[in-house]
Amino acid sequence: MNAASTAHAYEGSGEDSKKPWLKSYPPGVPPTIDESKIGSLADIFRTAVATYADRPAVESFGVRMSYAELGRQAAAVSTWLQGQGLEKGDRIAIMLPNVMAYPAILFGILNAGYVVVNVNPLYTPRELEHQLKDSGARIVFVLENFASTVEEVLPQVKVDKVVTVTPGDLLGLKGAIVNFVSRYVKKAVKPFSLPQAVPFKRVLAEGAKAQPKAVVVGPDDIAFLQYTGGTTGVAKGAVLLHSNVAANVLQCEAWMLPFFGVRADHVMVTALPLYHIFALTACALLMVKIGGCQLLIANPRDIPGFVKTLQKSRFTFMSGLNTLYNALAHAPGIRDVDFSNLVTSIAGGMATQAAVAAEWKKITGKPIVEGYGLSETSPVVCVNRLDIEEFTGSIGYPLPSTNISIRTDGAPVPEGERGEVCIKGPQVMAGYWKRPDETAKVMTSDGYFRSGDVGIMLPDGQVKIVDRMKDMILVSGFNVYPNEVEDVLVQHPGVLEAAVIGLKDEHSGESVAAYVVRKDEALTEEELRRYCRENLTAYKVPRHIEFRETLPKTNVGKVLRRALKEEVAKGL
């Protein structure tokens, strides 16, 4: 697949008349971004370091780092990497949660012309082995807490070097305390033996002895292999060029600036992991572009600790997904957080439920602004207007320079009808790493990426996601979309979380099954079913309801319907 042609496939399409969303754009938001300004991520970072040198760039465990200091640390990483015999375009894996070292490593890799392979640090050895082999990563940066996993797979993979990072790296004197708590109080570091591993402190010390060699990093160079699809099959690496991701940063900036303007005090609460494409672009890279600060949350699953951090912080942006907002909204102490500086809360990654959005607005005074994207689209495709007063339930409007086509069997459907959401724009990936066959399956002949999501387009150009195509339940010939049923379930005051799947049924083909985490232990199956009957057509009402303590989720909190189906199948 030709990367350059994909990156600029939206040009000259002559489809403006088919873009109803443009008439709904907020004043000041352009229909397209200036393509001449789509450079590399290295360009964006160097400009930020020069322009915002004294501003805080990152905060972790109460310690802040300026843009100037981040620039120095990233340069040290680049210099050290260049001394390891690497060639431009070589892949380097980052296996870290949101710790202070992450941004320095990220930009050190990108600035030197290497490719970042983001790795979930909670991967099993089997998952890690696949990703390292598939990407051909030559160096792995790993938090010491997860080094035992790397140790287990090293005999099966070809890796030149392993760099061990600690949670306290780059935190100064505070770092010793953070590391002590991690190792000896929380006992979070499993024993490991990596005699050849290089401590990150040594990388910085050796790299600081010289300046990095100048490297030309262009828009068409690969920036990331962003692995996706691991929950539905073998994980594939989405090839994201510098131009793909840089364009998406410019698109997000173009959407945001008319609402908030240019200001020096933006702080983004970055709780979603930076190895996830949502946080990578919408938090790390966007904040660098506008000179904002990332407030890194190393462990968002520690909700009490997360709330304490928020209580001590002043921030302008929140980013998260439905399950995270739900957990925070029900956490003790959340009403003691000062939300007066908050300008918007962005949600993506999964459908946001109306009940969660209502509770969040009650607490913060701000509605959740939902957006939509995928790893293959760098990721942001659509987002709601940032001046909405209430949660909309849609994913909003396509960003500037983005085309959306709702299709069935390759042909556009009439307005308001369901179909697959297909996407064209400069943020669409160049293809899947070493998988031209898989790339061909998701790219249309006219250059659109097939999302696999079912959606409708409203008259004003807003897009509403109905569900994933593969999650649809067919009951006696009628389509049932799990998101709709889940949204009703969680509006019951006795329900905390819910997931809906289809079960085989000899009478109707499939039946609707709901798996529910209760907020009120007194809630009964019959009461909940009666509530559903009041809000859903009969064939959508769950025939089977099961109460559970938890639901299977990804490490970023998205409910895994496939895993739930597998659990249920084993149980049956």
Question: Phi first, then psi: what are they for 102, rounded to 5°?
Answer: -55, -55
Q: What is the DSSP string of 315-359?
A: -SEEEE-HHHHHHHHTSTTGGGS--TT--EEEE-SSPPPHHHHHH
CATH number assigned to the domain covering 472-571 = 3.30.300.30
Cα torsion angle, 201, 205, 206, 207, sign? positive
Q: Which of 16-30, 140-154, 229-243, 360-374 has the lowest mean pLDDT?
A: 229-243
pLDDT attached to residue 77: 98
Antiparallel, parallel or unpaired: β 419-424 and 449-457: antiparallel
Q: Is pLDDT larger for residue 474 or for residue 98?
A: 98
67-217 belongs to which CATH class? alpha beta
Q: Is pLDDT larger for residue 253 or for residue 508?
A: 253
- The answer to whether domain 67-217 and domain 472-571 are alike in fold is no
pLDDT tens, 411-447? 999 989 999 999 999 999 999 999 999 999 999 999 9
Predicted structure pTM score? 0.88
pLDDT attached to residue 4: 37
pLDDT tens, 508-547? 889 999 999 999 999 999 999 999 999 888 889 999 999 9
pLDDT attached to residue 556: 84
In this structure, the dihedral spanned by the alpha carbons of residues 48, 51, 52 and 54, taken in order and rounded to 10 degrees, is: 130
d(CA 563, CA 497): 16
Closest to 302 measured CA to CA, from 330, 327, 325: 327
Largest Cα separation within the chain, whole Å, is 73
pLDDT attached to residue 17: 58
Cα torsion angle, 42, 46, 49, 52, sign? negative
d(CA 244, CA 379): 9
Q: Where are the extended beta strands (E) located within 275-321?
A: 293-296, 317-320
Task: Tell me the domain boundaries of the chain.
Answer: 67-217, 472-571
pLDDT attached to residue 229: 64
pLDDT tens, 185-226? 999 999 999 998 999 999 999 999 999 999 999 999 999 999
For the cut 50, the answer to whether the pLDDT of residue 8 exceeds it is: no
For the cut 70, the answer to whether the pLDDT of residue 335 exceeds it is: yes
The DSSP code for 379 is S
Q: What is the mean pLDDT of residues 25-31?
A: 96
**Angle between helices 41-51 and 242-260 in degrees, nearest 10:** 40
Distances (CA, A) of 370 to 373, 380, 381, 494: 10, 11, 11, 25
Residue 42 is encoded by which pair of tokens? 């290295």
> Do residues 512 and 543 touch, judged by C-beta distance below 8 A?
yes
The DSSP code for 59 is E
pLDDT attached to residue 572: 55
Residue 527 is encoded by which pair of tokens? 């009461």
Task: Calculate what percentage of the chain has a pLDDT beyond 70.
Answer: 96
Closest to 109 measured CA to CA, from 223, 249, 7: 223
Q: Residue 480: pLDDT band by 50, 70, 90 thresholds?
A: confident
For the cut 70, the answer to whether the pLDDT of residue 11 exceeds it is: no
